[in-house]
A and B are shown apart, each in its own frame.
Chain A
Amino acid sequence: MKTTHILPMPLSDRWLIGLACLVFVALALLPLVASALVVDKLTLLFILIMFAVMWNLLAGYAGLVSVGQQAFVGLGGYAMIRLVEAGLPPFPAIFMGAALTGLAAWVLSWFVLRMKVGEFAIATWVIAEAIRAVVSFDPLIQGETGTSLVALNAYAPEIRRLTVYLLALASMGVMIWGTWRLLHGRIGAQSQAIRDDEGAAASVGISTFQVKQRIYIIASVGCALAGALWLASAITFQPRTAFGVQWSVFMLFMVLVGGLGTFIGPILGALLFFALQEIFGDFGAWYLAGIGIVAIVFALYLPRGLVGLWLDRGCDEPLSMRKRLGLAPGQTPRA
């Protein structure tokens, strides 16, 4: 017999979700009026949001601080290239590649999830580098020179751009909605318990390995999907770029600046990162220094990120992932 039910969602959250749905519809219609440059930029923004949401799921909710998610970004792209080479059309290959990367994540999870926090972080990075080296040996990739996804050239540039844009938008929507559903369910409370205290979580009957494994695989598939979409947008695949640690650094930056372990924090972080990239991206090394300074400022003065600004005013966290458990009718505790 179930003893709990989820308390109703606050009105402000309902409004926020309604607004998000409107923005989503507007974004879906935007290519009708927007220039090719805007469509390309927004595709990149959707990919950044996917990265941030997936890394937050991993580190913010399950306490799995990975600096090796670039392994799955690169593997997603690589699997796509291999599938296209095997005869699959490029766009279905994006999703098939992400699914195959999920299998790789499942295999890796048996090793990395048995490690402690620090060991896990280092191991994920080492594994990403090892995978990059192995992929570089594939004759199809041509070492560090890389290769191009020439099959995409079969499509007219406008069609390709629009398809990638819509696929990225849909994937981002599914990832945000899926994360919401996942974290509002049983696994959400369980992952937060694991993040708070893994030993205590095990003692209250949570299969800590199983929960972490599920989240690790989901986050890996999400990163692979975003990686494959990025490849479909950029066309060129170079191991050093696709498996570059900069992906994990970007994810970390976006999540920490937005608000680790909050639902909307990573989205805000991705928006800020995108804006910084657009405004200061042409300043070369100074841009990177600026990103570093922003990260330091947030770490020192806003450790809870942009969402923390809201929380510091005594307001409830918007779209909080906290499982709002209530008593079922007739189960009210007697005082």
Chain B
Amino acid sequence: MSALKISDMVGRHGLLQAVKGLSLDIPEGETLAVIGANGAGKTTMMRMIAGLHPVAEGEIALAGTPITQMPAHARLKAGIAMSPEGRRLFEDMSVRENLMIAAENGRRGDWTLASVCDAFGQITPLLDRAAGGLSGGQRQAVAIGRALVANPSVLLLDEVSLGLSPAAVEGLYQSLEGLKGHLTMIVVEQDLTRAMAFADRIICLAEGIIELDGKPQDLTRQQITDAYFGIHKTPEGGHA
């Protein structure tokens, strides 16, 4: 069954069309990596799914239920949670408060503060520290934990590794490996090697359209690089 279905979705920033008629069908439990150059429309796509950016045209359905007109706060309750680009923690609040505010507003389920601390061990000693004073890796772990504790069925992770040290990225992806298969994940990732190793499926966005869509083992590095820079289309026309 499809966890998330996007049909002909268009997103605009003023006159600029950032996402151009994008269609995607993501099965339950799949981990989808979204790659693409800066300005390809990755973050806009994620924000549209989360309800943080208006959908100009098209439809989004969560497990068969249309959610296109649903506001962001209601989408969290419906089962979509996001760890946004830049982490965007509530700086003046403690880590515990950051997590609990999402827990209070999210769905009830297996993910609690305790289980999130289990999955992301680095969070536990930080619980009573102000979120504003954390390192990049710690902030990312808290941002992911904050999304998880809302018990989503679809987890959106925007730019997981951006600006982080290799050790921090490695630690985070080790924790994320444990989530695979239990929930549907869409991960925006600039690191191609990491994306290919982690995801069940990869799409490459260029100028708001899907240039490439396939399983990592079926795609060559050259195909991905070409799609990334928008210099090559797939034989079928490229629009999955």
Contact = CB atoms under 8 A, between A and B. Distances in A.
Interface string A173-193: 000000000000010011011
A234 interface: no
B105 A1 contact: no
A203 B158 CA distance: 13
B90 A197 contact: yes
17 contacts: A186-B104, A193-B90, A196-B90, A199-B52, A199-B88, A200-B90, A202-B71, A204-B101, A204-B146, A205-B106, A206-B105, A322-B93, A322-B94, A325-B96, A333-B124, A334-B117, A335-B124
Interface in A71-122: none
Interface of B: 50-52, 71-74, 76-77, 81-82, 84, 88-94, 96-97, 100-106, 108, 112-114, 117-118, 121, 123-125, 127, 146-147, 150
A3 B151 CA distance: 13
A214 interface: no
A160 interface: no
Interface of A: 1, 3-4, 186, 189-190, 192-193, 196-197, 199-208, 322-323, 325-327, 331-335
Contact of B77 (A192, A205, A325): A205
B76 A204 contact: yes
Nearest to A211: B73
Listed from nearest, the 10 A-B pairs whose CB atoms lie closest are A205-B105, A205-B76, A333-B117, A202-B72, A200-B88, A204-B102, A196-B90, A207-B73, A325-B100, A333-B114
A208 B124 CA distance: 29
Given A196-B91, A199-B88, A325-B100, A205 B150 contact: yes
Contacts of B100: 3-4, 325
A1 B108 contact: yes
Contacts of B127: 333
Given A199-B84, A206-B101, A331 B92 contact: no
A196 B73 contact: no
Contacts, number: 104
Given A203-B81, A203-B82, A334 B114 contact: yes
A197 B88 contact: yes
B117 A202 contact: no
A332 B113 CA distance: 8
A110 B71 CA distance: 16
A331 B113 contact: yes
Contact of B84 (A1, A4, A200, A322): A200
Contacts of B76: 203-205
A1 B108 CA distance: 8
